[in-house]
Amino acid sequence: MAGYKIAFITDTHDIKARKLRGIVQQLNQRQLDLLLLGGDYSKTGENPRQTMEILSQVITTNGIYGVEGNHDNYRNLFAAMKQYSIQPLSNNGVHIRKNFYLAGVEDLWKRRPNVKQAIAAAEPDDFVLLVSHNPDLTMLQDTTSVNLVMSGHTHGGQITFFGLWAPALSPTKGITKYGQRFMSGWAKSRDGIPVYVSNGTGSYVPRIFARPQVILFTLFPG
């Protein structure tokens, strides 16, 4: 899988169609192998179809897969995903190719995520990649059989002091119970497994030192 390219989009939150189409256009110049979607595609959860229709136009070798977020109505979302040939992951997983197992879980706030169930079909020698909208889950459930987790939810703190500290992520605010741990970028689960937390792709203004982003991963042998 050396050179395998994965794009990760999360927290689009009703981004304008013109901007989202521009992102798709740029991604289609990257020769992607896989596109992963991390949840929260709208603010109300009621109208995900346009977002799914646009994202379905990203060209990949191995398809597009996604999970729900806390702002999503999962029934509406999964119906829209299936309409546009995007595969929803909901406490389950799939072998993308030999020795590469992709799993996704339900949202931590609104449903019952289950990491053990999601990765149950993985083989012992698989590289296991888990998508969980909320990174807090990695502190609450066993992740020792996972190699990498991708999450969103925290928006990079939304408003930060030079990207170092975000008032909105204080435990009393309710967004995360773990303070700045999952603000943005690389972190660790309770079990020491790498967790990458994206700032999210939607603007959800204002943003200060927490700019929106699409994350591109290229895999190499460890």
CATH number at residue 141: 3.60.21.10
Q: How many CB atoms lie within 10 A of CB 112?
A: 10
Q: What is the pTM of this model?
A: 0.96
Q: Which residues fall within 8 angstroms of residue 183, CB to CB, at 6 or more apart? A: 154, 156, 157, 160, 166, 169, 197
Confidence check: pLDDT of 33 > 90: yes
Pair of tokens at residue 44 = 């109300």
23 pLDDT band, cuts 50/70/90, is very high
3-state helix, strand, coil in the chain (%, to 5): 20, 25, 55
Give the domain extent around 190.
5-218
- The pLDDT mean for the chain works out to 95
Q: Which residue has the higher pLDDT, 222 or 70?
A: 70
- pLDDT > 70 fraction of the chain, expressed in percent and rounded: 99
Q: pLDDT of 7-19, one tens digit each? A: 999 999 988 999 9
Residue 30's φ and ψ, nearest 5 degrees, are -100, -5
pLDDT digit string, tens, across residues 40-51:
998 775 679 999
Total tally of structural domains belonging to the chain? 1
